[in-house]
Chains A and B, each alone.
Chain A
Amino acid sequence: MTIEIAIILIPFIMAALIPLFYRRLQRKFIGWIVLVIPVSLFLILTTYIPRIANGEAFSHTYEWIPSFNINFTTYIDGLSLIFSLLITGVGSLVILYSIFYLSMKESLHHFYCYLLLFMGAMLGVVFSDNLMVLYAFWELTSVSSFLLIAFWHHRKASRAGARKSMTITVSGGLSMLLGFLMLYTMTGTFSIREILENVDKISEQALFIPALVLILLGAFTKSAQFPFHIWLPDAMEAPTPVSAYLHSATMVKAGIYLVARFTPVFGGEMIWFWAVTGVGLITLFWGSFNAVRQYDLKAILAYSTVSQLGLIMSLLGLGSVAVHLGYSTSSVIYTQATFAALFHLINHSTFKGALFMMVGIVDHEIGTRDIRRLGGLMSILPFTFTIALIGCFSMAGLPPFNGFLSKEMFFAATVKITKLDIYSIESIGILIPVIAWVASVLTFIYCVIIVSKTFLGKIKPDISEKNPHEAPVGMLISPFVLIGLVIIIFFFPNILGEYILRPAMASVYPTFPLAEMTPHIHPWHGFKPELFMTIGVILIGILLYRYKKYWMKIYRIFPQQWTLNAIYEKVITSSENMSESITKRYMTGNLMHYFVYIYVSFVVIVAGTFLVLEAFTWDPSSDAPVENYELLLVFVAIFASFALLFAKSRITAVLLNGVVGYAVAFFFVIFRAPDLALTQLVVESVTTALYLICFKYLAELKPEPSSRKTKLSNGLISILVGSTVTLIGLAVVNYEKFNSISSYFEDSYNLAGGKNIVNTILGDFRAFDTMLEVVVLFIAGLGVYTLIKLKASKKGDADT
């Protein structure tokens, strides 16, 4: 086993071990033991940084199902390294934070088990080269996210949020699976790298665009892009560390990863450019627009995450232009958008993780997250205030924090793209910087809201009564590490660019020369449009914040029943109702109907197959001769069975059944089966007696109450099934494709010491079968005994 596979498996192994040992531990130790895993994985992964920065990539294949082209292939390059560092790095901080955040009374073993499950699955997503394996891990992240959102499962909102996220992300995942299968049909391989080598061959094929759209659907649902973003705010029912980890730093970025990974495949398409850029920009705007009107701090952060994910997504869309243009000295400048996307991806994880932890602290110490009830916490929670201030300033794009750098690069990219004249950018391209700018103003406003409504102003009386105090040091370590990074990255962005971002650029643009794709990041680059845009954001943002109450009416324009959530609810309830009514229509509870389904499908499937394959044949030449008495016996059996249909009394019916049974016994005699004949005679006699005993307690037969129509259709079905059986029997009776194994048993005296071959088969060759048959008899006997002896304790039993 190689290190790469071990990195994926270790979290799973640990997750499996926790249930075994947690009882023997003091509860407070579970978190510390779990913490060892992400920290050590993070340290192992950092050793890859210099080698990957040198342009190396690590790949190992463990053959899994080679006949289906499904292998467990790990592949570590620059792009997967960024994500894996985020997963393990933020994971370590989040677990450290959780140790202090979660009360000892919670079911901690579940929490850490799910968290490790998620970590392993997420590492699997970014390290898998095989699309099927990637898909499996992808859905596993949805499952673990479901479990974590529903962690407080006694709350209805948690369960609803978990279900919603599951429904949306898993259906997106399924469409992505379809897209992967289409890629497989076009290329014949599930390996991403091999697909990349065949890009030129597939872009002309008919399935190319459908595959593109389906894979994008998977990415958009996972990364909470408009209109699928509605699950993310509801996912905030999860414990805050989970929100910080899954729903801002890692899982929601799986879609970003997928888009970046597939940019070299699909990036040259116009539909890819407009879908990724357009959906990203709409999400960016809609998220920030909705964040402004929230009252719950976590809801603000949720919408803000939606908006920031849109920003990263749109940057990836802008960067895909470079793939279309191909490498030239003038086109390489458009790759900077992708560079900014990756840069902002890291920045967002740092400041948003810190902000979520900040909200967790406020919730933990004050007991509420509602900004209408908060205020003036600056003096009570000075350290938390520092975190909020730096985090929000970075998110708003102010210096000296890392958000400023990536925001400026974002503005620069949106302005630059308008100069292009492909993809009809010349007509509507001007909208790109406009939307970006408006959304940034809104971002600025909600950042100010977070800081001012929570920490500035007067302390509300009901808060000061409780005499709250600053969080324990343990809870402050993680957010302070992240805030430290926010500042460090601002001052030394190029170290990050050189070692982490540049190798990832090689994954997105494999055909471009690497040296030209790493822009030197400056905080100051002269009086360029992006600088004026930032200044505009600040000025207009402050103005709009001051006069907020005058324009908040805008939110009331949208009718309540047309919100996306209302539509989602409507779809879910109506599909539930529909499935219930459909089920009720065919699950009638009437035994006859179920039999009809079985027999009709038997006729359709079996007879249909025979008809289609023209397999009905009849060759009577090798038939055994027919004697007169045999003919007579056949007529007796047919006559008795027909008479059974018209029997008026049950005694007649049972006797006719006996006649058929005895006729069968005679056939056994004729066909050289003495054991069968004996058994049949005994069983038939006993069964007839049993019928007669039972009749003492049952009502006399009545004529069938079914309507004429039902009887006719039943008759038709039985005739169809009967003739199907006859025709198939005729067709296969002389079928001799395989040699019979029966001759083996004819050596029964030597093999089993018996001269009766049938007996030796039952008692020796297939003795297990016979033993289980005895078990069946035993169970049936037990059932008979219980049914007779059981004194019905409940109502409805008349005379026992």
Chain B
Amino acid sequence: MESLMMILIGVLVAVGIYLVLSRNIIRVILGTAILSHAVHLLILTMGGLKKGDVPLLSQSKGPFTDALPQALILTAIVISFATTAFLLVLAYRTYKTNGSDDLQELRGMSDE
């Protein structure tokens, strides 16, 4: 299972990066979302899969599956949600102000 997951993660990373390398701002944001999915799965897989029970003391006496990666991922999910929301609004604002969603057209500063 771990090997299979690693392949899936590799595919997700490749797709995410291809999207991030786009010129369209929406594709870039989607790319970051896919990348964070890949990273969450990576962290979980690194901790070992299906090695124990659900980490709830009330449900089982152990052995438990590794709880630490889960805590890390939980933090990461929330943070990536925050950044996605922020990026989306940034894209909205950029489009409103500059009338373009093409990053190549958006480059440069007015004082250059």
Binding site for B on A (CB under 8 A): 588-592, 595-596, 599, 618, 620, 623-626, 630-631, 634, 637-638, 641-642, 644-645, 650, 653-654, 657, 660-661, 664, 667-668, 670-676, 679-680, 683, 686-687, 690-691, 694, 697-699, 701-702, 704-706, 714-715, 717-719, 721-723, 725-726, 729-730, 732-734, 740-742, 745-746, 748-749, 755-758, 761-762, 766, 769-770, 773, 776-777, 780-781, 783-784, 787-788, 790, 792, 796-800
In the bound assembly, the distance between CA atoms of A726 and B17 in angstroms comes to 14
A733 and B23 contacting across the interface, CB-CB below 8 Å = no
B56 to chain A, nearest CB (A): 5
User: Which residues of the other chain, B, contact A664 by a CB distance below 8 angstroms?
Assistant: 37, 40-41
User: Which residues of the other chain, B, contact A702 by a CB distance below 8 angstroms?
Assistant: 24
> Which residue of B11, B83, B89 contacts A638 across the interface (Cβ within 8 Å)?
B11
A676 and B70 contacting across the interface, CB-CB below 8 Å = yes
Interchain residue pairs with CB less than 8 A apart (28):
A589-B109, A630-B4, A634-B4, A638-B11, A645-B19, A653-B30, A657-B33, A671-B50, A679-B74, A679-B77, A690-B85, A698-B26, A699-B95, A705-B102, A714-B18, A717-B21, A718-B14, A722-B10, A725-B38, A730-B2, A742-B67, A757-B64, A757-B67, A776-B79, A777-B78, A783-B90, A796-B97, A796-B98
Given contacts A625-B1, A686-B81, A718-B18, contact A758 B70 (CB under 8 A): yes
Q: Nearest B residue to A722 by beta-carbon distance? A: B14
If A701-B24, A732-B46 are given as contacts, then 17 extra A-B residue pairs at C-beta distance below 8 Å, sorted by A number, are A618-B3, A664-B41, A672-B50, A673-B65, A675-B74, A676-B73, A699-B101, A704-B22, A722-B17, A725-B42, A729-B10, A748-B57, A749-B57, A756-B57, A757-B57, A770-B75, A783-B90
Given contacts A595-B20, A595-B21, contact A624 B11 (CB under 8 A): no
In the bound assembly, the distance between CA atoms of A704 and B101 in angstroms comes to 11
Given contacts A657-B33, A758-B67, A780-B86, contact A641 B12 (CB under 8 A): yes
- Chain A contact residues: helix, strand, loop or mixed: helix
> Which residue of A715, A734, A740, A773 contacts B79 across the interface (Cβ within 8 Å)?
A773
B82 and A780 contacting across the interface, CB-CB below 8 Å = yes
A742 and B57 contacting across the interface, CB-CB below 8 Å = no
In the bound assembly, the distance between CA atoms of A674 and B73 in angstroms comes to 12
Q: Nearest B residue to A622 by beta-carbon distance? A: B2
> Which residue of B6, B22, B75, B84 contacts A769 across the interface (Cβ within 8 Å)?
B75
User: Which residues of the other chain, A, contact B26 by a CB distance below 8 angstroms?
Assistant: 650, 653, 698, 701
User: Which residues of the other chain, B, contact A715 by a CB distance below 8 angstroms?
Assistant: 18
B23 to chain A, nearest CB (A): 6
User: Which residues of the other chain, B, contact A726 by a CB distance below 8 angstroms?
Assistant: 6-7, 9-10, 13
> Which residue of A624, A657, A697, A734 contacts B92 across the interface (Cβ within 8 Å)?
A697
Which residue, A591, A697, A748, has most C-beta atoms of chain B within 10 A?
Answer: A591
Which residue, A637, A673, A691, A697, has most C-beta atoms of chain B within 10 A?
Answer: A673
In the bound assembly, the distance between CA atoms of A677 and B44 in angstroms comes to 12
B74 and A660 contacting across the interface, CB-CB below 8 Å = no
In the bound assembly, the distance between CA atoms of A718 and B15 in angstroms comes to 7
B13 and A725 contacting across the interface, CB-CB below 8 Å = yes
> How many A-B residue contacts, CB cutoff 8 Å?
277
In the bound assembly, the distance between CA atoms of A625 and B91 in angstroms comes to 43
B4 and A631 contacting across the interface, CB-CB below 8 Å = yes
B4 and A733 contacting across the interface, CB-CB below 8 Å = no
Given contacts A664-B37, A672-B65, A762-B74, contact A757 B55 (CB under 8 A): yes
> Which residue of B81, B90, B93, B95 contacts A687 across the interface (Cβ within 8 Å)?
B81
A127 to chain B, nearest CB (A): 50
Given contacts A673-B70, A787-B92, contact A641 B11 (CB under 8 A): yes
Binding site for A on B (CB under 8 A): 1-24, 26-28, 30, 33-34, 37-38, 40-42, 44-58, 62, 64-68, 70-71, 73-75, 77-79, 81-86, 88-93, 95-99, 101-104, 107-109
User: Which residues of the other chain, B, contact A667 by a CB distance below 8 angstroms?
Assistant: 5, 41, 44
> Which residue of A591, A634, A698, A792 contacts B97 across the interface (Cβ within 8 Å)?
A792
In the bound assembly, the distance between CA atoms of A694 and B107 in angstroms comes to 22
A571 to chain B, nearest CB (A): 27
A592 and B21 contacting across the interface, CB-CB below 8 Å = yes
Which residue, A634, A661, A722, A780, has most C-beta atoms of chain B within 10 A?
Answer: A722
Q: Nearest A residue to B22 by beta-carbon distance? A: A704
User: Which residues of the other chain, B, contact A690 by a CB distance below 8 angstroms?
Assistant: 84-85, 88
> Which residue of A674, A706, A746, A776 contacts B62 across the interface (Cβ within 8 Å)?
A746
Given contacts A657-B30, A733-B6, A758-B55, contact A673 B44 (CB under 8 A): yes
In the bound assembly, the distance between CA atoms of A694 and B94 in angstroms comes to 12
In the bound assembly, the distance between CA atoms of A719 and B5 in angstroms comes to 16
B39 to chain A, nearest CB (A): 9
User: Which residues of the other chain, B, contact A674 by a CB distance below 8 angstroms?
Assistant: 54, 56
User: Which residues of the other chain, B, contact A589 by a CB distance below 8 angstroms?
Assistant: 107-109
In the bound assembly, the distance between CA atoms of A741 and B67 in angstroms comes to 10
B38 to chain A, nearest CB (A): 8
In the bound assembly, the distance between CA atoms of A597 and B3 in angstroms comes to 29
B2 and A624 contacting across the interface, CB-CB below 8 Å = yes
